[in-house]
Amino acid sequence: MIYITRFTALGNDQMTKKFLVAFDPETPQTKSSDFVVPVVESGRVVLFGLKSKRVQPMGLVVFTGKELSPNDVFARLVDTGRPVESFAAALKDISEYLTALKEQRVGDVVAVDRQNGAVTLLKVEFRFTSKRTPLP
Protein backbone atom coordinates (compact mmCIF):
# COMPACT_ATOMS: atom_id res chain seq x y z
CA MET A 1 0.00 0.00 0.00
CA ILE A 2 1.30 3.47 -0.87
CA TYR A 3 0.57 6.64 1.11
CA ILE A 4 1.56 10.05 -0.23
CA THR A 5 2.50 13.14 1.80
CA ARG A 6 3.17 16.51 0.14
CA PHE A 7 6.23 18.70 0.82
CA THR A 8 6.52 22.08 -0.91
CA ALA A 9 9.76 23.94 -1.50
CA LEU A 10 10.15 26.84 0.94
CA GLY A 11 13.07 28.96 2.11
CA ASN A 12 15.99 30.82 0.58
CA ASP A 13 19.00 28.65 1.48
CA GLN A 14 19.47 26.32 -1.46
CA MET A 15 22.61 24.37 -0.57
CA THR A 16 22.15 20.77 0.54
CA LYS A 17 24.13 17.60 1.09
CA LYS A 18 21.18 15.37 0.18
CA PHE A 19 20.23 14.24 -3.31
CA LEU A 20 18.01 11.69 -5.03
CA VAL A 21 19.12 8.53 -6.80
CA ALA A 22 16.86 6.52 -9.11
CA PHE A 23 14.62 4.06 -7.29
CA ASP A 24 12.71 1.18 -8.87
CA PRO A 25 9.88 -0.17 -6.69
CA GLU A 26 9.95 -3.46 -8.62
CA THR A 27 13.53 -4.17 -7.48
CA PRO A 28 14.01 -2.17 -4.27
CA GLN A 29 17.17 -4.02 -3.21
CA THR A 30 19.04 -2.85 -6.32
CA LYS A 31 21.53 -0.10 -5.51
CA SER A 32 21.62 2.86 -7.88
CA SER A 33 24.20 5.56 -8.51
CA ASP A 34 22.04 7.37 -11.07
CA PHE A 35 21.38 10.83 -9.60
CA VAL A 36 18.04 12.31 -10.70
CA VAL A 37 16.97 15.94 -11.20
CA PRO A 38 13.58 17.46 -12.04
CA VAL A 39 12.99 18.44 -15.67
CA VAL A 40 9.90 19.46 -17.60
CA GLU A 41 8.80 16.87 -20.15
CA SER A 42 5.50 17.11 -22.05
CA GLY A 43 4.30 19.86 -19.72
CA ARG A 44 4.88 17.98 -16.46
CA VAL A 45 7.79 17.68 -14.05
CA VAL A 46 9.60 14.33 -14.02
CA LEU A 47 12.83 12.95 -12.54
CA PHE A 48 15.61 12.61 -15.12
CA GLY A 49 18.64 10.36 -14.53
CA LEU A 50 21.96 12.11 -15.05
CA LYS A 51 23.79 8.85 -15.78
CA SER A 52 21.12 6.78 -17.56
CA LYS A 53 19.50 9.79 -19.31
CA ARG A 54 16.08 8.22 -18.71
CA VAL A 55 12.98 9.35 -16.85
CA GLN A 56 12.69 7.64 -13.47
CA PRO A 57 9.41 7.17 -11.55
CA MET A 58 10.80 7.72 -8.04
CA GLY A 59 13.92 8.70 -6.17
CA LEU A 60 15.59 7.61 -2.96
CA VAL A 61 17.08 10.31 -0.71
CA VAL A 62 20.81 9.76 -0.09
CA PHE A 63 23.54 11.70 1.71
CA THR A 64 26.24 12.91 -0.71
CA GLY A 65 28.69 14.41 1.80
CA LYS A 66 29.21 17.41 -0.49
CA GLU A 67 27.33 20.71 -0.55
CA LEU A 68 25.39 21.00 -3.80
CA SER A 69 24.12 24.30 -5.22
CA PRO A 70 21.54 24.83 -7.97
CA ASN A 71 24.36 25.89 -10.32
CA ASP A 72 26.26 22.64 -9.70
CA VAL A 73 23.19 20.56 -10.45
CA PHE A 74 22.30 22.61 -13.53
CA ALA A 75 25.85 22.15 -14.88
CA ARG A 76 25.52 18.37 -14.50
CA LEU A 77 22.16 18.48 -16.29
CA VAL A 78 23.66 20.42 -19.21
CA ASP A 79 26.57 17.94 -19.36
CA THR A 80 24.10 15.14 -20.17
CA GLY A 81 23.29 16.84 -23.48
CA ARG A 82 19.60 17.19 -22.67
CA PRO A 83 18.23 20.37 -24.28
CA VAL A 84 17.09 23.04 -21.80
CA GLU A 85 14.39 25.35 -23.13
CA SER A 86 14.61 28.04 -20.47
CA PHE A 87 17.69 28.61 -18.34
CA ALA A 88 15.78 30.66 -15.74
CA ALA A 89 12.90 28.19 -15.43
CA ALA A 90 15.23 25.17 -15.14
CA LEU A 91 17.35 26.90 -12.49
CA LYS A 92 14.20 27.90 -10.56
CA ASP A 93 12.92 24.31 -10.64
CA ILE A 94 16.26 22.96 -9.44
CA SER A 95 16.39 25.56 -6.63
CA GLU A 96 12.89 24.61 -5.45
CA TYR A 97 13.84 20.92 -5.70
CA LEU A 98 16.94 21.34 -3.52
CA THR A 99 15.01 23.35 -0.96
CA ALA A 100 12.23 20.74 -0.81
CA LEU A 101 14.86 18.00 -0.55
CA LYS A 102 16.07 19.45 2.76
CA GLU A 103 12.75 18.52 4.37
CA GLN A 104 13.23 14.85 3.47
CA ARG A 105 15.09 12.27 5.51
CA VAL A 106 17.82 10.02 4.16
CA GLY A 107 16.18 6.78 3.02
CA ASP A 108 12.83 8.35 2.06
CA VAL A 109 11.32 7.36 -1.28
CA VAL A 110 9.85 10.35 -3.12
CA ALA A 111 8.23 11.34 -6.42
CA VAL A 112 8.14 14.83 -7.95
CA ASP A 113 5.18 17.02 -8.86
CA ARG A 114 4.31 20.69 -9.37
CA GLN A 115 1.89 22.32 -6.92
CA ASN A 116 0.92 26.00 -7.20
CA GLY A 117 3.78 26.59 -9.64
CA ALA A 118 6.46 25.17 -7.32
CA VAL A 119 8.33 21.87 -7.52
CA THR A 120 7.00 19.56 -4.81
CA LEU A 121 8.33 16.26 -3.53
CA LEU A 122 5.76 13.60 -2.73
CA LYS A 123 6.89 11.22 -0.02
CA VAL A 124 5.90 7.68 -0.90
CA GLU A 125 5.45 5.36 2.05
CA PHE A 126 7.24 2.35 0.67
CA ARG A 127 7.64 -0.78 2.74
CA PHE A 128 10.66 -2.87 1.95
CA THR A 129 9.66 -6.51 2.06
CA SER A 130 11.89 -9.50 1.98
CA LYS A 131 11.15 -13.16 1.55
CA ARG A 132 11.54 -15.03 4.79
CA THR A 133 12.82 -18.54 4.80
CA PRO A 134 11.01 -20.87 7.17
CA LEU A 135 12.89 -22.44 9.99
CA PRO A 136 13.85 -26.09 9.44
pTM for this prediction: 0.78
What average pLDDT does range 53-59 have in this prediction? 91
Number of folded domains in the chain? Answer: 1
91 pLDDT more than 80: yes
In a domain, 62, yes or no: yes
d(CA 126, CA 136): 30
Average pLDDT taken over every residue of the chain: 83
How far apart are the C-alpha atoms of 2 and 116, rounded to whole Å? 23
Burial grade of 128 (CB within 10 A; 0-12, 13-18, 19 or more):
exposed
pLDDT score, position 74: 92
Whether the predicted pLDDT of 69 surpasses 80 = yes
What value does the mean pLDDT take over residues 6-29?
70
* 131 within some domain: no
Task: Indicate whether 115 belongs to any domain.
Answer: yes
Is residue 84 pLDDT above 70, yes or no? yes
Looking at per-residue pLDDT, the higher value among 135 and 90 belongs to 90
Indicate if the pLDDT at residue 96 is higher than 60. yes
What average pLDDT does range 95-113 have in this prediction?
Answer: 91
Confidence of residue 5 (pLDDT cuts 50, 70, 90): very low
Whether 130 is covered by a domain: the verdict is: no
In a domain, residue 105? The reply is: yes
Residue 129 lies in a domain: no
Residue 93 belongs to a domain: yes
Higher pLDDT, 56 or 13: 56
The range of the structural domain enclosing residue 11 comes to 4-124
